[in-house]
Chain A
């Protein structure tokens, strides 16, 4: 059976035979960096194309269909165009921060990749506080956005950045509490253990009501956290032209754009890991034959399939809903989502203490 696990183990063994452990580690780092950069570039191209195709389908259009078969090279052509463009820095802008901001946003997105389990035993860093690490790092992206908004010396950018700050900081709470629900049930912060706990059934389908609530909360909160419609107030096109990245052009704009999609991928990957079993195949009770067939599908495909399904849901939101207003956005979080999250956490804690979960 095809497995990424064999590939990684073989590589590591070979490196350890050929070099001393320190150099081998350094080389592994280089390989990981190259791989993640490649993954980023690929994800950017695929997700943007997917977004445009999904949007087109929803909007009774065809979408890109000229460059390459079915328009699959459209995003590559767009990227080429953006690379060619001049990266302007406006007068009176804080040049250092202005140019740094897209990289901060990008770096945060890259760091988040570390604890994600892409396939069975295929993980960059199986840190024992994986979930905590993710919550901690994902909050950093707001710094990049605030930096971009403030350094642009543009009032629209500033308003966008302020909105984004308020939004990400508040929705982080709900997302965090939703994640904690699973942590309480699993009893571990480690991603691999959370996945392993779902061997006999994905958390979402095990029938725990708090988990279902947490899943809904998680999807809402991460849609807001990634600044996607209906929570795209930070870049509300009709209100603030483009919000915090109004002044960016060329590749610097592309980095923001890319980071947005990478963030979507990451939050969906985490969602898939926590609620949909990560790379675990779909099993139904005692249907041995069915389960066996499911096992033949590689774990990486399971993981990607689940992640892209969640991404599709988030894209579906974007092309269906209008945007919320800023006060409604904060009301939704502080008056509805947060109390529900807290109550949900209480509920799941009781379930865990009483040992009612399975």
Chain B
């Protein structure tokens, strides 16, 4: 980490051989949050990228050590704020696994629908942000038009638009809104009509393609070695969808394809996310009409106590594999909790992917990694 005086010193001094060291971030339009990259440039060409993290580190892992198993879920919404439902699901699943709590089918169905809606919302935001990184402002507003419908559904369901805290160990906090199914169907209808516009505006755009095709290539081998997951790894041809590998909730009952591209470049990552949204729609369509009646939360004790031992739960967030690792001593609070965040591993590949390319390529690469900084810093 650079302290204040060093940053100033750095910006005024040229490195050896005419290298230019620039601090990209913590306040920079393209880092979408407080990521700090120290980029060594030779003219326009990137020689080295060093991420410096911690500007939004809240030490959630330490915090959770003094929170009970009912409380700590709410903190996880604040990590990857674009997949808060999925983070909550991961924690709930882990506790249900540890304490062998039966989750009612209704809750499982709603969880999967909400998770997929969250995934679409996250990808929508990502398209907008990425297009903006590449200098196109308009797709952002197109993407937000559809995302707004999802956040409205979320608001109806749980009163919040970003940090939902709706999923609790045993099921859901409340039953769904009576209009939930209709609204989701309305959303699906609109989404299917409007997703064509993205194709016209972004996918088929010549400049967009020339900016992304062949940029930031990550081979399958490197993707595995760097621990990349989610769309980043799938764009390199690695099968890593936790929904397929270790299905949770009702993912084993629905039909969907794991989207795989093999090029490994920014455009492949873009295509994976676009196709993934369509797969998410497919999952929701299969479930939305058949949400079973019944309880929305299973029977749980008021005070949850995980048995002594170690538990690990993996889920697939919009960014990749999210893992919760809890070491329990049998009490009401965890002894050690570790969140395996997808962004942290994906970020570690950035330097490898962007070295030797131009500054503009760094934006295309970083944009398609879909970094959420609170998720990386935790």
Contact = CB atoms under 8 A, between A and B. Distances in A.
Interface stretch (B91-99, B318-326, B357-365): B357-365
Contacts, number: 89
A324 interface: yes
A319 B361 contact: no
A241 interface: yes
Contacts of A233: 360
Interface string A152-189: 01111001000100000000000000000000000000
Interface in B1-54: 11-12, 20, 22, 28-30, 41, 44
Contact of A238 (B11, B20, B135): B135
Interface stretch (B65-73, B204-212, B279-287, B335-343): B204-212
A61 B141 contact: yes
Contact of A159 (B11, B12, B359): B359
Contacts of A238: 29-30, 132-135, 363
A296 B92 CA distance: 76
Interface in B117-166: 131-138, 140-142, 145
Interface string A61-104: 10000000000000000000000000000001000000000000
A230 B137 CA distance: 11
Contact of B135 (A55, A236, A241, A327): A236
A240 B257 CA distance: 39
A322 B208 contact: yes
A9 interface: no
B201 interface: yes
A157 B29 CA distance: 15
A225 interface: no
A58 B361 contact: no
Contacts of B208: 322
A319 B137 contact: yes
B360 A236 contact: yes
A246 B362 CA distance: 20
Contacts of B29: 237-238, 241
Nearest to A155: B22
Given A239-B360, A323-B360, A59 B22 contact: no
A322 B358 contact: no
A64 to B, nearest CB: 15
A328 B210 contact: yes
Contacts of A321: 135-136, 205, 207
A237 to B, nearest CB: 5
Given A241-B29, A327-B358, A156 B145 contact: no
A287 B29 CA distance: 56
Nearest to A154: B11
A276 B201 CA distance: 30
B134 A323 contact: yes
Interface string A300-330: 0000000000000000000111111111100
Contacts of B361: 325
B136 A59 contact: no
A112 B172 CA distance: 68
Given A159-B44, A238-B29, A239-B360, A324 B137 contact: no
Contact of A229 (B11, B28, B135, B358): B135
Interface string B216-246: 0000000000000000000000000000000
Contacts of A92: 12
Tier of interface size on chain A = 20 to 34
Given A322-B211, A324-B207, A55 B360 contact: no
Nearest to A240: B359
A232 interface: yes
A328 B209 CA distance: 12
A46 B40 CA distance: 42
Interface in B313-358: 358
A229 B141 CA distance: 18
Interface string A23-61: 000000000000000000000000000000001001111
Indicate the member of A58, A155, A159 with the most B CB atoms within 10 Å. Answer: A155
Contacts of B41: 159
Contacts of B136: 229, 320-323
Interface string B87-118: 00000000000000000000000000000000
Nearest to A158: B20
Interface in A210-241: 229-230, 232-233, 236-241
A323 B135 contact: yes
Interface string A230-270: 10110011111100000000000000000000000000000
Indicate the member of B29, B138, B140, B360 with the most A CB atoms within 10 Å. Answer: B360
B135 A60 contact: no
Nearest to B22: A155
A241 B28 contact: yes
Contacts of A58: 138
A59 B359 CA distance: 27
A326 B145 contact: no
Contact of B360 (A59, A320, A325): A325
B135 A155 contact: no
Nearest to B43: A162
Given A159-B44, A159-B359, A239-B360, A319 B138 contact: yes
B142 A239 contact: no
Contact of A60 (B11, B145, B210, B358): B145
A239 B207 contact: no
Nearest to B132: A238
Contacts of A320: 136, 138, 201
Contacts of B12: 92, 153
Contacts of A59: 137-138, 140-142
A90 B275 CA distance: 48
B76 to A, nearest CB: 30
Given A60-B142, A92-B12, A327-B358, A322 B20 contact: no
Contacts of B44: 159, 163, 326-327
8 contacts: A60-B142, A61-B141, A230-B207, A237-B29, A239-B363, A321-B136, A321-B207, A326-B360
Interface of B: 11-12, 20, 22, 28-30, 41, 44, 131-138, 140-142, 145, 201, 205, 207-208, 210-211, 358-363
Q: Which 3 A-B pairs have the closest CB atoms?
A: A323-B135, A325-B360, A322-B136
Interface of A: 55, 58-61, 92, 153-156, 159, 163, 229-230, 232-233, 236-241, 319-328
Given A238-B30, A239-B360, A239-B363, 14 more contacts: A59-B141, A60-B142, A229-B135, A233-B360, A237-B135, A239-B362, A241-B28, A321-B135, A324-B207, A325-B358, A325-B361, A326-B360, A327-B358, A328-B211
